[in-house]
Structure formats: structure tokens, C-alpha cells
Amino acid sequence: MFTQHDTIHTKVSKNTSRISHLEGHLEEHVAYIRGVLIFSLCVDVVEWWCLATRFLLRNLTVLWHGVPDKACYCG
């Protein structure tokens, strides 16, 4: 026969199991979000590197060859 103590123990065990299950799902979601954030950061770094490289190459070209003559662009 179940006593009140046994009933409480059973409820606590079920709740503990549910909490552990939810913690597992939470850890999966946190890992996914962390992965997305790291990927996003990598994309941002690559984008900034490309912009900086383009800026430097443009300025180095101007320094090396001089400012292009506007007459060259007239049709």
C-alpha cells in the first residue's frame, strides 16, 4: 500500500525526470543558438575583411597610378 511519503517520492521523481528532459532540450537550443551566433560573427568578420581589402586596394591603386583623369571617362 502506498503511503503519502511514497506518493510524494513518486511525484518528485517524475518532476525530476521532466526537468532533466527539459534541461537536455534547453542545452540543445543553447548549442544551436551559439553555433548560429558564431557563424554570424564569422560572416561579419569576412565581410569586414573584404570591405577593408577593397578599400586598401582602391587607395593603393590611386597612390600607385595617381588620380584618374576625368577626361578618360568622357564618351
Taking only the tens of pLDDT, the chain with its 75 residues reads 567 777 777 888 888 889 999 999 999 999 999 999 999 999 999 999 999 999 998 888 877 777 666 555 554
Q: What is d(CA 13, CA 3) in angstroms, rounded to the nearest whole number?
A: 15
Cα→Cα distances 72→60, 64, 67, Å = 20, 18, 11
- Take residue 7 and report the three cell numbers written for it: 506518493
In terms of residue numbers, what domain contains 51?
A: 4-73
pTM of the model: 0.55
